[in-house]
Structure 1
């Protein structure tokens, strides 16, 4: 049976990733759009999720929420109350605590709630997890740096409270770290760098550890103009593991072991189809919890104003 899915929020990520990935996955079809300012030819379009739900009735089985995290809770609640399976683009919400009521509601309705972390579906992530499961880990260093003007142009919501700032990409790194390390980590120190005219950080320097005292450092920066660095380096007693290009490539002692095309969102939709067959839930909040902790412990450092060009 085909999962008839509607996308809510037809922005850049939905156009670049969700729409083409749905087309590649067997068992799921895109049947409707809800977006304030966008539409797709040949599909019924609505202004918001409530208008969509009122119009489509039983013709839609699932809703994929690709809107900014602020305000997404109400959209997810409306879809779940209507008996629809729900996929949440990352981060799953603007706060950690707002997700628990959605989990309860999904269980009550017998439908799927899927809090997605697309970077976990990068081709080298699972091989990295398997390698580290048998390794003695000595240290971890995360470098996640990019140019905000290139990757998030004119996205004002991302600078607002709840938009996460540099943690919007940084949470991708945290989603990988929490997937590949054999033990949970927790935060020790957080330095957050806020442009003097913005409500969200443009850079962050974080220090974590685990139950064995393993040092884990993460550097996130949106001011990188010399090309992207999306890397995680792990020193172990079996050699140095490096995930590069956001989890696409795996190196062991600088020898390339994995390099495959990007299929992250294809993986997400395959997982969504699988979950909806039984109404199962997949909601891991650990990456978002780490971001929340970074703000809790964060030392605020003022830096120069960010001006959109």
Structure 2
């Protein structure tokens, strides 16, 4: 199938382009970006022009930041194109619900992707917890914003979510593997005095599940989740969900990486005429923003 990429920035170049190139399901037929391009692929600066000149492009993958994404997604859906949304799927829950309604009316696929759910060890953890009751759990998601989002000021603007942008990856895994849903009880957000979004977060959920997010971690990056069940089983996900250890025993994991798995899933959805729009990680972020105590942190500069 022919696919167009919209927003040729770091995530598109690092993840989307090589994943599509390695797949037998896809060929990149066009790009839309103010500056970025992909070698050998027709480049457009305007979405409407790309859609008009490429009626055979069936699918559009949107790699834009969340705030401007709605109008692009709505235009693609109304033009009868299947749409794949980079995480988070939108700036607000309401706009993603609106996109879901537009997709349904147009009879096309909408896929709200959560790439961390496709990490190699996630399904092994889900299987290990499936028939159990979680007694305690803790999530540590700590990384260096200067490494992963260098000079990208949008992450600290309204809608950019700050540390909850990587944190939503952790929440996407947590909502996938836990055998029963949890909800937020309390949170504390630390926001630099010169920025709009948080750089650290501490959260307490029901069922004795807690989480710590930090965007100033230097050295080794920490992406771990550990759950202990009432029967004493310990499930430990590390390396961003790519490694799963249950009671000290390494588990077999999936072969496909995160983004190749996303594109395989998108191909499956399109072929079967289905959509996949699970907003549970985004609901947690909305709850955190609603309930959290606010603390002012030192100014952040690149």
Structure 2 vs 1, CA of residues 86 and 305 (structure 1 numbering), >3 Å: closer, same or farther? Answer: same
Ranges in structure 1 where 5+ consecutive residues have no aligned partner:
none
Counterparts in 2 of 1:253-272, with a 5 A limit? 253-258=247-252, 263-272=257-266
Instruction: Indicate if the aligned counterparts of 1:135 and 1:238 stay in contact, CA closer than 8 A.
Output: no
Indicate the residue corresponding to 1:115 in structure 2: 112
1:223 pairs with one of 191, 216, 225: 216
CA distance in 2, matches of 1:43, 1:140: 46
Counterparts in 2 of 1:163-174, with a 5 A limit? 163-174=160-171
Indicate the residue corresponding to 2:225 in structure 1: 232
What are the Cα deviations for residues 128-175 of structure 1, in whole angstroms up to 9, with x where unaligned?
A: 101101223111100000111111101111110000100111000000
Indicate the residue corresponding to 2:64 in structure 1: 67
CA distance in 2, matches of 1:46, 1:109: 24
Instruction: Indicate if the aligned counterparts of 2:243 and 2:253 stay in contact, CA closer than 8 A.
Output: yes
CA distance in 2, matches of 1:23, 1:161: 34
Aligned length in residues: 301
Ranges in structure 2 where 5+ consecutive residues have no aligned partner:
none
CA distance in 2, matches of 1:255, 1:273: 34
CA distance in 2, matches of 1:261, 1:103: 30
Indicate the residue corresponding to 2:42 in structure 1: 44
Superposed displacement of residue 16, structure 1: 0.7
CA distance in 2, matches of 1:300, 1:45: 43
Deviation larger for 83-92 or 36-45:
36-45
1:137 pairs with one of 134, 152, 157: 134
Indicate the residue corresponding to 2:24 in structure 1: 26
**CA RMSD for the aligned pairs?**
1.2
Superposed displacement of residue 45, structure 1: 0.4
CA distance in 1, matches of 2:253, 2:81: 36
What are the Cα deviations for residues 42-96 of structure 1, in whole angstroms up to 9, with x where unaligned?
A: 111011322311222x121110000000010100000001100000000000001
Indicate the residue corresponding to 1:194 in structure 2: 191
CA distance in 1, matches of 2:109, 2:134: 35
What are the Cα deviations for residues 242-275 of structure 1, in whole angstroms up to 9, with x where unaligned?
A: 0000100011233322466661111100110011
1:273 pairs with one of 257, 263, 267: 267
Indicate the residue corresponding to 1:127 in structure 2: 124
Instruction: Indicate if the aligned counterparts of 1:248 and 1:262 stay in contact, CA closer than 8 A.
Output: no
Indicate the residue corresponding to 1:250 in structure 2: 244
Give TM-score, length-normalised by structure 1: 0.95
2:11 pairs with one of 10, 13, 25: 13
Superposed displacement of residue 19, structure 1: 0.5
CA distance in 1, matches of 2:188, 2:255: 35
